[in-house]
Amino acid sequence: MKSKKERYDGNLDHFIRDLYYRTSRRAKKRHLEFDLTIESLYKLYKNQQGKCDITDRKLALERGNLFRIAVTRKDPNKGYLINNVVLVGSFVAKMKQDYSDHLFIQLCQIVSSQYTNEEIE
């Protein structure tokens, strides 16, 4: 029998289904509104052309990949509603936490303005 990791790595349909269930449980646990469906997450992935909404980098399915698909809310004061969610890389979701997209990007710009490209590489 395949492990959970083997079932989801590389299989978008299974991954989206699992992402839906994980997100619905998170919303329920936090008592947040939730109107997503498996189909709406798949459509969101297609509309974003498989790219992170914030970094514009290709999203991944594999565990341990910084760009593994994650759901984040644009406005953290609202629930997991189709007009309030985007798909991002998992590291973006972890860094963003409960900040709005706008504030998160502003904070990233502040940090990045302190370094030149040579210092980062």
Q: What is the pLDDT of residues 10-26, one digit of tens each?
A: 699 999 999 999 999 99
* pLDDT tens-digit series, residues 71-100: 999 999 999 999 999 999 999 999 888 888
- Using the predicted structure, report yes or no on whether residue 109 has a pLDDT greater than 60: yes
Q: Which residues contact 41 (CB under 8 A, 6 or more apart)?
A: 16, 19, 20, 23, 71, 87
Kindly report the three-state secondary structure assignment for every residue of the chain: CCCHHHHHCCCHHHHHHHHHHHHHHHHHHCCCCECCCHHHHHHHHHHCCCECCCCCCECECCCCCCCEEEEEECCCCCCECHHHEEEEEHHHHHHHCCCCHHHHHHHHHHHHCCCCHHHHC
pTM for this entry: 0.82
**pLDDT for res 121:** 55
Q: What is the Cα–Cα distance from 45 to 85, expressed in whole angstroms? A: 11
Q: What is the Cα–Cα distance from 67 to 9, expressed in whole angstroms? A: 13
* pLDDT tens-digit series, residues 27-76: 999 999 999 999 999 999 999 999 999 999 999 999 899 999 999 999 99
Domain that holds residue 32: 4-120
CATH number at residue 20: 3.30.40.220
108: Cα within 13 Å, side-chain hemisphere: 12
Domain count, the chain: 1
**pLDDT for res 113:** 87
- Using the predicted structure, report yes or no on whether residue 8 has a pLDDT greater than 70: no
- Using the predicted structure, report yes or no on whether residue 107 has a pLDDT greater than 60: yes
